[in-house]
Structure 1
């Protein structure tokens, strides 16, 4: 074998190796760019925050006024988080250890309510 042909073979192998590295880097760049752009379209924490409003459940004590009933209190404090006003009244009765629907002026009751703001 001649020295010139050996040098050409080494040079050719080096060129092929460098082309493979360039192609690999280019493909990696394309895949990385595609995953960043495509991934941001598939999952975005900011999009979900705008669509879903979070409500927090709170409790407070109220004084029963003359003429109040569990029904009127439920109408004032109940939110969309309950299936019916009856469910809310049942919760009021359980929270306040009430055996009946009877409440009296001056009595204190714990009521639940929902708000979007975290306090």
Structure 2
């Protein structure tokens, strides 16, 4: 049989008054002020991190501009030359031939792989 209980309802104002009566008004004010200062510090720190991350991304975006010129080599197409043959001869060693052909076509505004003797192709040098 239960004779004594220490249960207090959290919905009862007496419980809130009893819990807070242990703290003096100045101590409560300091506790609230510390809580708000921690929140403010966290918000300022988070804002600084976001700004720094954003600025770093902006620097990366503007680091390379479309005005940067890639050195080009001019090649005159001879009789019997193909884009594949030219690409194999001039591409970097570690680059796929098909990728270099795409670069040649984009650089020279070619819609097809057809080239003729006497055409002048600009090949980017990597």
TM-score (norm. length: structure 2): 0.42
- Of the two structures, which has the highest relative contact order with CA contacts closer than 8 Å and spacing of 6 or more? 1
- Greater share of strand: 1
- Scaled by the length of structure 1, the TM-score of the pair is 0.45
